[in-house]
Structure 1
Amino acid sequence: MDYLRSIGSVAVSSLVSKSGLNFPFNLGEKIEDNHKNNWSLFDGTKKDDSSAVSIFVYDSSVTGRKAFVPLAKNALRKLRTTRHPDVLKFMEVVETEGIIYIMTERVRPLSSALKNWHSKPTQGRDDWLIWGLHRISVALAFVNESCSSTHGNIRPDSIFVSPSGEWKLGGFEVLSSPKDDAAVLYTMGTLLPDIMSIAPPEVQKTGWSVAKDHDPSAPDAYALGILIHTLFNPSHPLPTTSPPHAPPTPSSRGSIPKSIFPSFKRLLNPSPKARLSPKGFLELGMAETAGEGSGFFTKNPLVKVCEGLDGFAIASEADKTLFLRSLKDSEPSLPPEFASNHVLPSLVSALEFGGPSAASILPLVLQLGKNVPPQEYSALILNPLVKLFSSPDRGTRMALLDHLAEYVEVMDKKTVCDKIWPNLQTGFTDTVAVIREATVKSIILLAPKLNERVLNNELLRHLAKAQSDTEPSIRTNTCILLGRLGPTLGYNTKRKILVPAFSLALKDGFVHARVAGIMAFMACVDCFEIDEIAGKVVPSVSPSMVDKEKLVRDQAFKAVEFFVKKLEEYAASMVNSYDILRIAA
């Protein structure tokens, strides 16, 4: 099978290369030959930005596909003009003699996704299936009500799944409006293989032309019922659809959830006028107080998450907090592809709006990011976070700084110096003290990724001002930071700034700043020449031995003892001039 797939891919690639046309995509591996819709599906990439896309290819020269040309052209025309979030997104089309190439968003067939979900826990699988039905019901309600059309081809072969696990409605080969003179459903609908297996009783009795006499939703409602049975009972035979037929019995429910079964029966009502429409099915599923057999969508965790994300920007801060807490609790049970490709981008986008909720959003973003493949981490998480450093919103800035330790390791020096630092340094002069302090604290994490120019010049100028900040905690943290940075500074920079900086801290009115100054001297002992220790360091520290605060005095005695021991060790290694003269004699 893989060999045949590769042969097909090579053949189409050859046609693309020999056509002489400028294709906007690069054709990749063949994913599927859909015999029911007569299209071949390929992975591809857009040429202009290398983003992932899908390519649907219809080749009329393939045996048995010639008569399908009007339906293929109808699929193209309808897909191009039907725009909705739950409809397969059309991007571009290229037509050559007898071949149509349609470029869409990257998707895979629902049938292959269903196979992957069969082995997963029942509850998680059912949640995903119900969420998918919700999206398809929304799309169908749009097609039936807003477009006044019948899709006519609702089955797994016409549904596709995005990288985020969202279901997208496609398969527009027979999508028609009774008002359209060129409608194909009523005259050519039977050309689609196996389409009568999902046709309602009235169509099976007299043909597709009868659909013109009923609401456009009637055939799709019946097919939606068949789809529900197929999804939850894939190994069971399809319900009887030949007219007349009795309504489904409780014993035929199989694995269809009890909450959906009443609506399922109404979708399969043999009378088109009494049949529940996709819009009615959607309304029942979203109802909160309609009683038994309703609310099956509102109770679905994935539907809840999507609704919360969609309305997040306009929600109150209290509602945002409640939603984020709920999302954090449910995160472990979310499908990985849904969490990474739907929830994560939505949260990153919400971060751009800033505000108090940013402090709750960023930890969730980083938590979800742990499941992102390394090759996708930069695009999904790191690049958006780096961009957010330019945000003027203080809530966003604080969140970025508070959680810097969780993503700093994946940033390279160029990113830090060229993109982080130019925006970060504005925090040293922010009018809000907590921003200034958080900025100072962040430097110890970023320092290993700063170049010499920033480290020995621009940064030290900011720290010099921070040592005179009105907030004692900022002055203290600045001194601690200088003590930790000392060993990494250039030789001349160390000799020029360390002793004055630490000495200034020893004169600070805040007791912990003075203690920090003493400890910084000790931490940087290897940065000083021996004569500096004797002539500058010890004289600077010794007055603190009589400081009014015992905490400072105790630390000063320890420091002086430490430095004196260093001096004694050095003095013991020195050779006296008297001994030199005696040896010479």
Structure 2
Amino acid sequence: MTISLDLLHIAFKRKPEMFLKLSNANDGHLAAGRNGVKRLHTVRHPNILSFLHSTEAETFDGSNTKVTIYIVTEPVVPLLEKIKELELGGTQRDEYYAWGLHRIAKAVSFLNNDCKLVHSNVCLASVVVTQTLDWKLHAFDQYEWLVDSQYKSMELLKSDWATIRKSPPWAIDSWGLGCLIHELLSGMKLSKTEELRNTSSIPKVEFIKACGKLCAKHVFAEYFQNKLVETIQFMEILNLKNSVEKDTFFRKLPNLAEQLPRQIVLKKLLPLLASSLEFGSAASPALTALLKMGSWLLTEEFSVKVLPTVKLFASNDRAIRVGLLQHIDQYGKSLSAKIVDEQVCSQS
């Protein structure tokens, strides 16, 4: 659902969830809302907002019936809100934007090329950010007549369906991706189509490459080849890397992490690193990087996100057990007597 339509609410039970609510103004909006629920439910992709559950509720006001659609998703916040909160600047801002745009481009490519679907409303408002700072595409509840005119390509604006049918499946959403890029880099929502002519805030060559057909060879343009994107991509396909590649990567990671946006390191990279160590896909040098990242956390967060790695004293990898002992000065003070007895000494 389009988040701006009504409200967001986070409910904390066993894990946080996001409730989105849409109250219909007329049958057309209700149909659009139901279409959005259907798309979120059936279209599954890592870069598309994760749907958990939905329900409808009817209320009566005299002779009028009001239908409200409730959707439960993973916890997210609007992209614009998260950008303001992070306050990134310079190279770090550019790298984070490149990573996020890369994710949205992959989501749109999946819709257009694999599902043969058109989103038709790709813009700043249709992107949300998860707790791990991943960008997700949503807003599948828009019919063509509900999309604001500034986000419509000329063919769509003129209802030139003959041309649209002859066009490639990615044509309309390429326009939307361009609108998203313009809004993101200018820092302002698009109010009219003419504003797209002002490209002063957009790096010329890199984005021209990225706005063509949304397939892999275009998505990996020079703009998307930066330290942050390459680091996260390496971590996400760690199981496909050989031992030499892993060893080289993890030995460089402690110094590399200092150059990356701190919040992204702590909320995205650190959980990936901890998970890879737990499940055995990371090499022993990864411990050094994990503990360095952990030193940037508050004590409470360190206990939750880093300290559980002491269970690796039970690992069959001798190098990891030795690494834990060599670095015990960095986490030893946080160990309780119970943890020492049950997870450290019992494995010796």
Using structure 1 for the length normalisation, give the TM-score.
0.54
Is the contact between residue 355 and residue 394 of structure 1 (CA under 8 Å) also seen in structure 2? no
Unaligned runs of 5+ in 1: 1-31, 175-184, 268-275, 287-293, 428-585
| Equivalent residue letter for 1:125 | R
**Distance 1:123-1:227 versus aligned 2 partners, 3 A rule:** same
Helix, strand or coil at the partner of 1:131: helix
Tell me the SS of whatever aligns to 1:389.
helix
Residue in structure 2 matched with residue 373 of structure 1 by the alignment: 298
Render the CA deviation track for 1:493-550: whole Å, top value 9, x for unaligned: xxxxxxxxxxxxxxxxxxxxxxxxxxxxxxxxxxxxxxxxxxxxxxxxxxxxxxxxxx
Give the Cα–Cα distance (whole angstroms) in 1 for the partners of residues 83 and 27 of structure 2: 31
* Letter in structure 2 aligned against 1:323: F
Asked if 2 retains the 8 angstrom alpha-carbon contact of 1:59 and 1:65, the reply is no
1:562 — aligned with what?
none
How many equivalent residue pairs? Answer: 340
Equivalent of 2:17 in 40, 53, 58: 53
Match for 2:201 among 255, 276, 283? Answer: 255
1:59–1:316 Cα change, 3 Å: same
Kept in 2: contact 1:200–1:241 (CA 8 A): no
**Offset at residue 156 of structure 1 (A):** 1.1
- Measured in 1, the distance between the counterparts of 2:326 and 2:257 equals 22
Residue type of the alignment partner of 1:366: L
The residue aligned with 1:278 is: 214
Residue by residue over 1:61-89, the C-alpha shift from the partner in whole angstroms, topping out at 9 and shown as x without a partner, is xxx46641111111111111111111111
Of 141, 165, 186, the match for 2:109: 141
**Contiguous gaps of at least 5 residues in structure 2:** 59-66
Q: Identify if the C-alpha distance between structure 1 residues 421 and 128 changes in structure 2 by more than 3 Å, giving closer, same or farther.
A: same
Deviations 1:89-137 (A, max 9, x none): 11222333222222222211001022235x4322211111111110000
SS at match of 2:287: helix
1:358-406 deviation digits (Å, cap 9, x = unpaired) = 1x111111111122233332321112x1332222221221112211221
State whether structure 2 residue 32 is matched by structure 1 residue 71: yes
SS of 2:136's equivalent in the other structure is strand
Which residue number corresponds to residue 410 of structure 1?
A: 334
1:81, 1:394 → 2: CA distance? 45
Where is the strand percentage greater, Structure 1 or Structure 2?
2
Amino acid at match of 1:79: L
Match of 2:307 among 367, 373, 382: 382
Match of 1:302 among 209, 228, 244: 228
TM-superposed CA distance for 1:56, in Å, is 1.3
Between the two proteins, what is the percent identity of the paired residues?
A: 29
Which digits, 9 at most, give the CA deviation of each residue in 1:201-242, with x for residues without a partner?
A: 111112678644433211100111111111112359667469
Letter in 2 for 1:58: L
Map 1:409-448 → 2, pairs under 5 A: 409-422=333-346, 424=347, 427=348
Residue of structure 1 aligned with 2:239, choices 308, 313, 318: 313
8 Å contact from structure 2 (residues 133, 264) kept in 1: yes
Partner of 1:89: 50
Q: Which structure 2 residues correspond to residues 9-408 of structure 1 after superposition, within 5 A?
A: 34-35=3-4, 38-45=5-12, 47=13, 49=14, 51-60=15-24, 64=25, 67-97=28-58, 98-117=67-86, 119-174=87-142, 185=143, 189-192=144-147, 194=148, 196-206=149-159, 211-235=164-188, 240=193, 252-263=198-209, 267=211, 276-279=212-215, 282-286=216-220, 294-298=221-225, 300-354=226-280, 357-358=283-284, 360-383=285-308, 385-408=309-332
1:162 and 1:378 mapped to 2: Cα distance?
22
The CA distance in 2 between the partners of 1:355 and 1:218, in whole Å, is: 40
Root mean square deviation, CA, Å:
2.7
Which aligned runs of 4 or more in structure 1 are off by greater than 6 angstroms? 236-239
Greater RCO, CA 8 A, separation 6+:
2
Give secondary structure in 2 for the equivalent of 1:168. strand
Residues 253 and 261 in structure 1, CA contact (< 8 A), matched pair in contact too: no
**Distance in 2 between residues matched to 1:95 and 1:257, nearest whole Å:** 45
1:120 alignment partner, SS class: coil
Structure 1 residues 400 and 131: alpha-carbon distance in aligned structure 2, compared to 1, 3 A threshold: same
SS in 2 for 1:99: strand
1:321 & 1:419 partners in 2: Cα distance? 26
